[in-house]
Each structure stands twice: as structure tokens, then as C-alpha cells.
Amino acid sequence: MPSNMKSSKFSHLPLSTSGPVDCALTGTALLNTPYLNKGSAFPPEERRQFKLTGLLPQGAQTLEQQTKRAYQQYSSRPDNLSKNTFLTSLKDQNEVLYYKKLLQDHLSEMLSVVYTPTEGDAIQNYSRLFRRPEGCYLNINDQDRIFSDMAQWGQPDDIDYIVVSDGEEILGIGDQGVGGILISVAKLVLTTLCAGIHPSRSLPVVLDCGTDNRDLLDDDLYLGLREKRVRGRKYDEFVDEFVRAARKLYPKAYIHFEDFGLSNARRILEQYRPKMPCFNDDVQGTGCVTLAAIMAGLQISGQKLSDVRMVIFGAGSAGVGIADQVRDAIATEGNISRQEAAKQTWLIDKLGLLTTESDAAEAQKAYLKDASDWSGKETGLQSVVESVHPHVLIGTSTVPGAFTEPIIRAMGKHTSRPIILPLSNPTRLHEAKPSDLLKWTDGKALVATGSPFEPISGPWGKDGEEVTIQIAECNNSVVFPGIGLGCVLSRASRLTDRMLVAAVQGLASLSPTKNDPRAPLLPDVVEVRNVSVRIARCVIRAAVEEGVATEEGIPDEDEELDEWIREQMWDPVYRPLKLVEMEGATRSARGELRKSGSVIRNFVL
């Protein structure tokens, strides 16, 4: 069934997005509510019923006509950052139009504008571009207000998905302080775009703990807490207060941690994941998507995962997250211990290879190489590649150009199809350009990147014929929306390792290389909603098997389960509005009116 087709069989479900939307709003208040506003597309009868005549020009248009006009306006913006700003204001006016435009018509073109790389520029310029607040800003010096500040966002049933960042390691651009709110917003845009998480049932949060970014502290327009980043006990208490408030206020919500600093990301994840449904995208999401890309690459090179040697350059949250996911998969495939499987990965960080003599973080310890084996030897990337002969090389270092020609040529000497994944974001921080990687390996490298790249042509076909190679985007955005959707719909009480493995298997089963060895390693972005349905299906199945799914009535059959999932995915279409009474309702911080536990938002002035 196509992703936009709804199933009457499941239209009774509370999260069903079929049928009319209850609306208590009229007039300007309705026009000012982005979730309900249809602008020039309000049909004549709704204009009369909702007191809109006189507030709109006569012509009642279709969503397609609005999309055409909005695209013309978008195209007239001179650069990507102003296109990004344009789209933000469109989202503030009319969410259906915003998502429809992106989702159905221009996804490949616009994803890089609302996400990496352009969103990185928007975040760096947050306090200069600021027009209106988006989301929940919590302040480390006002911890006693966390509960009441968060309580404004709805009633207990109202929030399904929270993305929270403390702004310390945004993409590869470091500490962005309060600007981190925009990574929470952008990740939530992707959950709606790619997995149909209801845009009014999610909550972006920034934990403002100060910043160590001198440029921000010196900027008189900076909007965040103007003090050095708070660390230690007070920081831990702050995170804990946030988690407690989130759990108490929105007990159904799944918590997605994004772009926390290296010293906190994994620690926080390990602390909370045994107790609640939560996820760290940089650690787990990146691990899952990268493992799926590696599996697709190995299918082409004809190798087994359990035979693979892998070098990871940049042993932070993402690098170690990938190492763990690959190690666990090797252990399962080869029926060996995790400890044994870890021997196939070499981690390199700022000071070179991590060995038993390195001052390693807890998470890195599983991968330390015996220092005596390396004594007197160089431990930089080139020497390690020359001595280890890796099949897979991963870049999560934020060091642009780190994968040099000699390194890649050295790798190519010992493996016929090197799998090379420069994953640092945004684009300017990639460890290598795909065009160079293909040039240095005569088109043999199997490449996927953290940010999008154009296809590359070269004389790499049979007898030197020109071929064009598509570069897959290996970004956690391919998996986190589907994983989140699976957890939300099954109301999983935890996100277990097995559920993550299931997500990888679901994604790997859709790799285009299954049918065409020249195809990109991961599905194209335009397939993303179907990919999310598949991942969600696998995650839900695993949640049921693990006994952590608390939702009743999850279908057993795959086809029926997919229908059940799709029915609960929000689509950017104008649904008819139904005028309702507003008595007994309360207003949320979004300006929407909520009746106890109702899914549908209304609004009063």
C-alpha cells in the first residue's frame, strides 16, 4: 500500500490520522495556528463556518497551487541559509504546506537545507537569525522551574517524542549553547517528514548549561545563558530533573538525546536506558545506519562481516557507537565473544591509535590494542592502515581531508573493494571527498557520506567506459525516525539491543545493492517513508518478542502491521475541520487547546 493511503480498518486508533480534525478556533486565531491553517486553501464552506470570509482573498486554491507558489518563493532566495529561514517561516505559518512541499515534491533538494549541512549554519547563527522561539528552553540555574516550564506543553497523553540536546557537540561544529534547540527542532522535522510522527505530539528541548564557545559569550546578541558551561554534579542533577519531569508529565514519551558532549553522551544513555524508552542518536543511530551500510558493502565485495578489519578515525560518541554495533554483529555472526570480536576494530583518536597505554574513556576500553605490539611504531592513521590492512575505514573525527591519497592508496593495496565512510558533518568537515576516494581507488571504493553529495562520473565501467556512481548518505537520519516510530507505536517500555539489531536488519533488507552492485549502499532519501515503515515493523516485532511492547492489539501479520503503522503516520494533507466546543479544555504552550488526553489540537484566544 502506498505510504499516503490510510486504512479504514484502523481508523479507530487514537493516533489515526484519518478523518476530520476537531477545531474550536475561528478567524485570525485559526489562520495563526500552523497545524490547522490552510491559508488560501480553506474551502468556501469552511471560510463561512470558521469566520474566515473577509480575512482571505476570494480565490480558494488547492494545496498543489500553494506548493507551486511557495516553491517559486523558495527558489528566489539567493542562498541556502536564506532558503532555510524561508522554510522556517513557512513552518510557522502552515505545517501541511511545509511538509507537503518537502515531503512529496522536493525532498532530495530541500533535505540538505533543513538538515545537514545548512542547519549547521543556521545553528551557528542562531542568535542573529532568531525571530521567534521554537520549543522548550530549560535553564540550569532555574532547576526548580523545570517541571512547570515543561508542563505547559500538554497533558499526559499529548507528547510521544522528545528530542533533547545540551548543545555541547552539535554536528561537528562544537559547542553552540542555546542554539542547540535547532538541532532538536531539525531532528523532529525529520521524524515527521520521514516517519510521520505527529508534529504536534513532539517536543524539542534544549538544556541550557552555559557555553564554552568564546564567540558566543562575546556576542552581545547571544540569547543563551552567558556563563561557562556548568559541569559535574549540578549538570547531572539538571539532566536528571529534566528526565524526571519528562517521565512524570509525559509518561508515554520516548526520549531522544542528541549532540551531547563526549563525556556525557554515553554516560547519560547508560544511566537511563535500562529504565525508560530512550535513545542516543549519535551513538546508537549512527551505529545502526553505518552497520547497515557496511553490510551492503560486504555483499558487493563478497566478504563476511566476521572476517572484516575496521579502522575508525575519531573515537568519540559516533565512532565508538559504530564500533559497538559492528562488534556485536561480528560476535553474533561468528558465534564468538564480544571481547574477541572487538579485536577486529582499531580506534584512532587525536593522539593516535588507542592502546593499553592510552588514557582511554570507559567506552573505548574494549578496543585498546596491546601497547607492546606497537612500541616504537608510528600510530597515526597512515601507519595503522599500512600495518592493519583494513577492509573498512570510518571517519568520525571532524578533521577535513584526513583521508589522504597515500592512506587511501595504501588501503586499496590490500582490499579489492575498500569500504570508506567519511561521516563527519557538515559537508566541509568530511574526511575526504567521494570524488577523490573514487579517483584514488580507480572507482573501486564503496563510499557513503554523512552529508549529501552529488553523483560522480568517471571511467570506471568495463573497458574504461564512463559510469555514474550515486553516493549514499550514511546519516543516522536514515534510521532514527523508524526506530522512534516503532517505539512510539508499540509504546515500548525500553529500547533494547535486540530492537536495534532488528532496525539494522530492516534497513539492510532494503539496500539497493541487493539488485545492483553499482547502486548506492543505502536506500535513496525519497524512499524514506517506506524505509521507516520497514524499520518500525522490525522494531515493533522485536519489542513484542522482548516483552517490552505495552500497546495492545499489535497485528501479527506483516502486511497488516504495516497498515497499522501507516494509519498512525501523520501525512501532510488538509483534513476537513469539524467545529467543536471548547469548554473544559486547556491551552498548551503551542497555543493549542487540549481536552483531557485528546490527540487533536484546538485553540482559543
Ligand X SMILES: NC(=O)C1=CN([C@@H]2O[C@H](COP(=O)(O)OP(=O)(O)OC[C@H]3O[C@@H](n4cnc5c(N)ncnc54)[C@H](O)[C@@H]3O)[C@@H](O)[C@H]2O)C=CC1
Identity of the residue, 159 or 318, whose beta carbon is nearer to ligand X in the bound complex = 318
Q: Bridge partners of 234?
A: none
d(CA 147, CA 140): 13
Segment interacting with ligand X (CB under 6 A) among 39-47, 394-402, 559-567, 595-603: 394-402
State yes or no: residue 223 binds ligand X (CB under 6 A).
no
On whether 475 is known to bind a ligand per the annotation, the reply is: yes
Residue pair 60/52 in contact by the 8 Å Cβ criterion: no
Nine-digit cell at 563? 497498515
- Shortest Cβ 290–ligand X spacing (Å): 7
Segment interacting with ligand X (CB under 6 A) among 36-44, 58-66, 345-353, 559-567: 345-353
Q: Which does 94 bind (CB under 5 to 8 A by kind): ligand X, ligand CC(=O)C(=O)O, Mg ion, none?
A: none
Residue 559 identity (one-letter amino acid): E
Residue pair 476/532 in contact by the 8 Å Cβ criterion: no
Q: Which does 315 bind (CB under 5 to 8 A by kind): ligand CC(=O)C(=O)O, ligand X, Mg ion, none?
A: ligand X
Q: Which does 316 bind (CB under 5 to 8 A by kind): ligand X, Mg ion, ligand CC(=O)C(=O)O, none?
A: ligand X
Q: Which does 319 bind (CB under 5 to 8 A by kind): ligand CC(=O)C(=O)O, Mg ion, ligand X, none?
A: ligand X
Nearest residue to ligand CC(=O)C(=O)O, by Cβ distance, number only = 425
- Using alpha carbons, select from 81, 30, 77 the residue that is nearest to residue 56: 30
- Shortest Cβ 126–ligand CC(=O)C(=O)O spacing (Å): 16
Which 214-273 positions form the footprint of Mg ion (CB under 5 A)? 259
> Rule CB under 6 A: which residues touch ligand CC(=O)C(=O)O?
116, 171, 259, 281-282, 425, 475-476
- Shortest Cβ 517–ligand X spacing (Å): 23
Identity of the residue, 178 or 411, whose beta carbon is nearer to ligand CC(=O)C(=O)O in the bound complex = 178
Tell me the number of residues near ligand X by CB under 6 A.
28
On whether 64 is known to bind a ligand per the annotation, the reply is: no
d(CA 236, CA 368): 28
d(CA 437, CA 35): 45
- Using alpha carbons, select from 172, 170, 81, 77 the residue that is nearest to residue 121: 81
Which 304-323 positions form the footprint of ligand X (CB under 6 A)? 313-319
Residue pair 532/195 in contact by the 8 Å Cβ criterion: yes
State yes or no: residue 504 binds ligand X (CB under 6 A).
no
Residue pair 204/155 in contact by the 8 Å Cβ criterion: no
Active site amino acids: 115, 187
Nine-digit cell at 408? 587511501
The radius of gyration computed from the CA coordinates of the chain, to the nearest angstrom, equals 24
Q: Bridge partners of 395?
A: 313, 422
Q: Are strands 593-594 and 586-587 parallel, antiparallel or unpaired?
A: antiparallel
d(CA 200, CA 192): 10
State yes or no: residue 282 binds Mg ion (CB under 5 A).
yes
Which 416-455 positions form the footprint of ligand X (CB under 6 A)? 423-425, 429, 450
Q: Which does 262 bind (CB under 5 to 8 A by kind): ligand CC(=O)C(=O)O, Mg ion, ligand X, none?
A: ligand X
State yes or no: residue 396 binds ligand X (CB under 6 A).
yes
Nine-digit cell at 295? 553490510
Q: Count other C-beta atoms under 10 Å from residue 36's C-beta.
A: 27
Q: Which residue has the cell 500497546?
A: 551
What string marks each residue from 451 to 490 as x (binds ligand X by CB under 6 A) or -? -----------------------xxx--------------
d(CA 502, CA 487): 12
Q: What is the DSSP letter of 549?
A: B
Q: Count other C-beta atoms under 10 Å from residue 156's C-beta.
A: 13
Q: Spell out the alpha helix ranges (H) of 221-368.
A: 233-249, 262-272, 286-301, 317-334, 338-341
Q: Are strands 202-208 and 310-313 parallel, antiparallel or unpaired?
A: unpaired
- Shortest Cβ 43–ligand X spacing (Å): 42
CA distances from 262 to 209, 316, 347 (A): 15, 6, 15
Segment interacting with ligand X (CB under 6 A) among 228-236, 329-337, 392-400, 581-589: 392-400
Identity of the residue, 425 or 602, whose beta carbon is nearer to ligand X in the bound complex = 425
On whether 515 is known to bind a ligand per the annotation, the reply is: no
Three-state DSSP state, 85: helix
Identity of the residue, 317 or 355, whose beta carbon is nearer to ligand X in the bound complex = 317
Identity of the residue, 355 or 398, whose beta carbon is nearer to ligand X in the bound complex = 398
Which residue ranges make up the site for ligand X (CB under 6 A)? 169, 171-172, 262, 282, 286, 313-319, 348-350, 396-399, 423-425, 429, 450, 474-476
Q: Which residues are annotated as a binding site?
A: 258-259, 282, 425, 475
Binding-site residues for (S)-malate, in ranges, read: 425, 475
